[in-house]
Every structure is written in structure tokens, then in C-alpha cells.
Structure 1
Amino acid sequence: MPKIASILRSALCLAVALAASQAAALECADTEISARGPTFTPSPETSMEAAKTEWLKKATEIFSDATMETAKDPKIMCASQGLYSNCTITAVPCGTTPAPKAK
């Protein structure tokens, strides 16, 4: 039994070390960006997905591998109008690969 605990402890330490090295490799933009869905939709989930899509368009212009999962300080705010909603996402994009500069 002590051998299994030792193996599990080693695996946990390795996982923590890998996560720390990946987090250290991330760079973040200097400023946050905001984006909102193009229209009001009848589903809050659809509204959030639309905002994420628009935010990712802008974020990948800064870091080509930016994701919502790597974003720093994400904030989601949704406005409702009757049964419809529209969401806005504001976050600092982070990634490991800067996007090529447009000419």
C-alpha cells in the first residue's frame, strides 16, 4: 500500500509541475478587450456562445491560440429585453503564440 501512495504522490507532483510550467509560458495582452453577440437571442446560452465567438475573433488577432479558458479576469454581462438576451464578454486575452501582425 505505501508503494501505491508513493506512486500517486509522484503523479500528483508531476501534474502540478506541468500545470505550473504551462501557466508560466502564457503571456497576456496589456489591455482587456470586449465583444458582444451581434443580436439579441431567445436563449441565454446562445447569447453567451455568440459573445464568446465574437470575443475569440478579437483575441486571436492578439494571440493566435487564445481561448476563454486562458483569458485573464473574464467578465460576462448579459442584458435582457423581454425573453431575449445579449451578452458581452470582457477579458484580457492570453496565449503562447502571438498572432502575426497584419500588414
Structure 2
Amino acid sequence: MAKNKKSNINLMDILKGKFLVEDGSMQNWRFVLYLVFLAFVSISSSHWVNKKVVKIKQLDEEVSNLKAQYTDAHRYLMKMQLEPEIMRQSEALGIKLTDEQPYVIVKKIYDQEP
């Protein structure tokens, strides 16, 4: 019968790194490399998400800026469509309103029967 080796691992053995150099330490190395890989994936995904959050914030600021520009342009356009503004600009071009009523030309179309 083979004796089972009793595992007496204490804190000092872990701090000295004996679990990485003893017989059968290949399993321990695999586990350590797995933990390093998981840490790398966790850190890189955290940085990736942080970049996305910053980009979203920049785009939100740009959208709010464009909305403000749209509001200003819309307000200016509405002002330009008012009658006093149109009259002021047309007078600058030399166009004035007349006091005479315009003539209405009516053309009557007669149906001709064949």
C-alpha cells in the first residue's frame, strides 16, 4: 500500500514559493497562468469599457451642441419669415409695396363639342 503524502502547507511555504518548485508543481503553474490570463482579460475589458464610456460622453456632448445649433438656426429662420423682416430686406433690394390693387386676369375656357 502506498502512503498518501499529507499536505502540510503553511503560509511561509506559500510566501517562499515552494509550491512552484516542488514535485508536481506543473498543476500549480497551470493554475497561476490561468489566473494571470483571467486578470489580463478582466483588466483589458475594463479599459475597453472605459474607452466606450468616454466616447459615449463625447458623442452626447456633440449631440447636445448640435441640438443647440439647430434651435438657433430654426429661431433665425422663423424670424426671417416674418413680414416686417421680409419688407425690410426687400426695401434694401429696391422692391416696394404698391398702393394699387393687382389686376386679376381670368381666362374662360369654352368647351367645344365635336
- Whether these two folds match at TM > 0.5 is no
Greater gyration radius? 2
Structure number having the greater strand percentage: 1
TM-score (norm 1): 0.29
Higher RCO, 1 vs 2 (CA within 8 Å, ≥6 residues apart): 1
